[in-house]
Chains A and B, each alone.
Chain A
């Protein structure tokens, strides 16, 4: 059985759409787990300090990316925000920050809920209102709910609540498979993102062009964590002096957006933190990995 805290239809304004140095769009998985973690910390310093969040899933209902493509342009450009002037009244050079407005539902697997469900829900509703989420402002959200998922029927019911929308799952299996076969990471990634057009010519010299992607399904690159690139230690100007500091970079792998009804086990959509310090990896990964049948 799973205890699920469902926060439906959170509207977020100006969230960070630059999920990694290689990707733009839906905010990084680290941002969603980060928001959930921040909420858990708020609970910890309240009367609901026993509540623990084990894993979470995110479903995107609507997203508007703040980019622009003019007629006939091949590429999109970022729509910026005006930065304040510097002390001499000059406009500083632009740092291009990609933003999006979006509506998501969060599905959080909890433990130790205690008995005061109403109090807990009220606390969550209020806490969420004053939080930042994926770098954006929370404009509004529907009231949170606690749902017990103990069989197929309750699971299906929950999933239907999440429609229409798309839930993000990891497809690292696809990329790893290519890399096992000897391709480097960029080629492995691009192989699943590119559309291949090939032509055929029949006896009557009729030409047909067909277009195809390597894998069915909505496969996209996603940022799922960080890769430490220096040893843990101390650095000047770190945000606090007590926590071990490291330089790091985003890691990107393949993911897939699926409509929730395709999920037959909640663990296929739930994510949790996982550190693999031996390989310097700080990851968000799924409770159960998706692999092809």
Chain B
């Protein structure tokens, strides 16, 4: 089938739907007691920064100017967040919804295309049952990748997962430290069980799956924790604004749902350079873009980008590598607008 038969309008809803992550403080010993747990609030700090940016040559080479510049009180107002003095453990709470229906775009304006795509997707589901992707998503719950910076330098991390919908009431507890964030090779029975539930929801065997996830990270008394930073598209032109604004919901410090979603879908080890460079799994993105590295690991030139692979997959071609199919399906689980008229 020729390429020009790709639908010009094509969109998919995301199938992994996390809530925001809410941050609480507690102690490791009493982490499961609600009474010992309190919401973490943001604090506003004035910090006196030192000049640490590279100075202009004109200033650098003039001792007088340099002195003046360095002595300028570089006062900044920033949000910060920390555990209480009597607390040593961060609790992050969120829910995760897993939906089915990947085989059905939310918008598609080409019937023929829709049919060939749906067929290809159904074939994948039949053959794979989403087990590979589900295992990777489950691993990223078990290893607490979603804690991001809060994961660094912890003594203990425990992740509690509970199925909220249906009658099963299944529960698991994971010792996050025993799971790698570099690979998905673990063969833990609980991860298997959790991934089975995720796979069932993704492939439509179950209506949906709703998980409650509580992660406990022992990071030390009164230590700083890291909620998401807000991206304020400031138009006020005023000086003296805050230079760092952190996210909170109803006065509880929080992590953006997008940030948690990004961690959960950090499962791409199939990009071309994976074995050569030491970056590890990257988040599922159409061009394999990694924001903090400013790099796209699936550049269209290498023909490893989503659009190149998807166009072939959706038109019924068998991809050379099973891993390419996993990747394509993972992007569809992520969701987005992928029509031929909207590329770029």
Contact = CB atoms under 8 A, between A and B. Distances in A.
Contact of B236 (A74, A79, A88): A74
A239 interface: yes
B334 to A, nearest CB: 10
B232 A68 contact: yes
Nearest to B107: A239
Contact of B17 (A68, A101, A137): A137
A96 B207 contact: no
Nearest to A139: B19
A139 B299 contact: no
Contacts of B234: 68, 70, 77
Given A70-B242, A238-B9, A239-B107, A14 B287 contact: no
Interface size class on chain B is: 35 or more
Contacts of A171: none
B309 to A, nearest CB: 14
A241 interface: yes
Interface in A4-24: 13-14
Contact of B291 (A69, A72, A85, A130): A85
A61 B123 CA distance: 45
B233 A80 contact: yes
Contact of B245 (A68, A87, A132): A68
B8 A237 contact: yes
A278 interface: no
Given A13-B20, A129-B165, A237-B339, A86 B296 contact: yes
Given A72-B240, A77-B235, A86 B9 contact: no
Contacts of B245: 68
A129 B100 CA distance: 12
B207 A84 contact: no
Nearest to A79: B230
A83 B19 CA distance: 18
A240 B8 CA distance: 10
Given A68-B230, A77-B236, A89 B289 contact: yes
B169 interface: no
A64 interface: yes
B238 A73 contact: yes
Contacts of B289: 84-87, 89
Residue among B208, B234, B258, B341 facing the most chain A CB atoms (10 A cut-off): B234
Given A85-B291, A87-B300, A79 B13 contact: no
B197 interface: no
B240 A240 contact: no
Nearest to A72: B238
A139 B208 CA distance: 13
B268 interface: no
A229 interface: no
B160 interface: no
Contacts of B231: 79-82
Interface string A156-169: 00000000000000
B8 A236 contact: yes
Q: Is the interface of A mostly helix, strand, loop or mixed?
A: loop
Contacts of A68: 230, 232, 234, 245
A240 B109 contact: yes
Interface stretch (B62-70, B125-133, B249-257, B273-281): B249-257
A75 interface: yes
B40 interface: no
B99 interface: yes
A114 to B, nearest CB: 21
A86 to B, nearest CB: 7
Nearest to B293: A89
Contacts of A139: 19, 95, 97
Nearest to A240: B109
A94 interface: yes
A60 to B, nearest CB: 15
Given A13-B257, A237-B341, A75 B296 contact: no
Residue among A96, A132, A137 facing the most chain B CB atoms (10 A cut-off): A137
Contacts of B95: 139-140
A74 B295 CA distance: 38
A195 B20 CA distance: 37
Contact of A82 (B8, B238, B291): B291
Interface in B274-311: 285-287, 289-291, 293-296, 299-300, 305
B241 interface: yes
A208 interface: no
A71 interface: yes
A129 B233 contact: no
B210 interface: yes
A129 B39 CA distance: 27
A82 B294 CA distance: 13
Contacts of B299: 87-88
23 contacts: A64-B249, A70-B238, A70-B242, A71-B241, A72-B238, A72-B240, A74-B236, A77-B236, A79-B230, A81-B258, A82-B291, A84-B285, A88-B299, A91-B291, A96-B233, A101-B20, A130-B208, A132-B13, A139-B97, A236-B341, A237-B9, A238-B109, A239-B108
Given A84-B287, A85-B290, A238-B9, 17 more contacts: A68-B230, A68-B234, A68-B245, A70-B238, A72-B238, A77-B232, A78-B232, A80-B233, A85-B294, A87-B287, A87-B305, A89-B293, A89-B296, A96-B233, A236-B8, A239-B107, A240-B109
